[in-house]
Structure 1
Amino acid sequence: MLNSPISSGVSLLCMFTGLFGVSTLLYSLSESSTVPPQNPDHSLIVDNNILRGIFAGGIAGSILGFLPGMGPAQGSLIAQEISGGGDTGENKDSFLVAMSGVNVSDALFSLIAIYLIGNPRSGIAVYVDKIIDVFNYEHLILYIFVSITAVSLALILCLKLGDIVGEYIQQLDYSRLSWLVIIFMSSIVMIFTIMEHANLWFVLLVYATSVALGLLPHYLGINKSNLMGVLVVPAIVIYVGIGM
């Protein structure tokens, strides 16, 4: 959408909702997915696989924090390859740790990118860059300290709330919940379209196309990270200066 008739915010909201949100839920509904049994006695042992996952998440997140056009999908793929884990099998704990590491380190390195090169690389970094005129070393240390504190508190809350939620999550009607989420996300797209006075028919076309493209990886057996080409290719075109 290099020359889109709608704003970049609506464009990204529409595309990502269709590519990764609604399409995944629709495929899940078509497969009659259910919530798996929850194991309240599961324990996490910090071994070499977990440490490898932490290292993989940190490396992948640092790459995302600095390189343009790189998103969570690429970071997840890099972390998965380094950690040697996956969302199934014996190393799934390592995979989950790596994914968490990607998100945390990406946020931290995005802040570092503002300080080093003056260019934000994530949504939260853009917001920080806008509210602070000059992002100096003191700001960097403060935000890193706050981020680490927030992550530590979130870990405790996640462990405590996870046990509580795990007892009730299997009682939910997964199909109904999925449809409610689909309706909610679609409504958000429509609301922002109206608020931005965007071309409704164009947005609906982009939304439907995004959903269709988002379904393809599920049926073709390929990784959905390939869909991030919607950002990577335009970023390459812009930075290389093609057509300018």
Structure 2
Amino acid sequence: MQTATSRPSLPASVPSHPDAGSTPATSAYQGYQIIRRNGAVVSFEPNKIAVALMKAFLAVHGTQGAASASVRETVDALTESVVRALLRSRPGGGTFHIEDVQDQVELGLMRGGHHEVARAYVLYRERRSQERAKQGQPPVAQMPALFVTDRGQRVPLDDAKLQGLIESACADLGADVKPDPILAETRRNLYDGVPIDEVFKAAILAARTLIEKDPGYTRATARLLLHT
């Protein structure tokens, strides 16, 4: 049975300018990590989101415009909004893929009405993707063979068992409720050495993200919850 986990408090504002120092209440994010494109797992640092946003505003408004107090306040507010959205999807802690973080930044800019800045950010992401492709790097890291931690032991992830669990959760729920999207999203949010319990939590969260697409995923999520 799952136990309720308290949600970490979010600082009132995340500093965006270079001399702002470290993010307040850093300990609030210790349960969160980022999966980079090369598969490496690093700590979640909201201040890096603020830096990315500031660079996007710089690209549109120039150094003088981006240095204004209003832009700094806008960046702080957008950063807080992005962080809140990410934490809502992982209330008990967990991992975010770097692409998911960037998607939230893009969405935050659009929702905030900063369409020109959002366009600059989209173009920047596309340019970086093309640069990685030219260097022979895949746009998103290929998933290597994963190991999990089960009762203190490091063992290979049983992909067949995970796939069977997800397929069972989706069984008889209609043609639109498919296991493949859940499995793909689950795998994308795993990292080497992840505790086995976190694997099941990742599957539950992956199913939840699809509920808006088809309400049938609500039952799939419930079935996965029963497994835990």
Class of the TM-score when normalised by the shorter of the 2 chains = under 0.3
User: Where is the helix percentage greater, Structure 1 or Structure 2?
Assistant: 1
User: Where is the strand percentage greater, Structure 1 or Structure 2?
Assistant: 2
| Bigger relative contact order (CA 8 A; separation at least 6) | 1
TM-score normalised by the chain length of structure 2: 0.24
TM-score normalised by the chain length of structure 1: 0.23
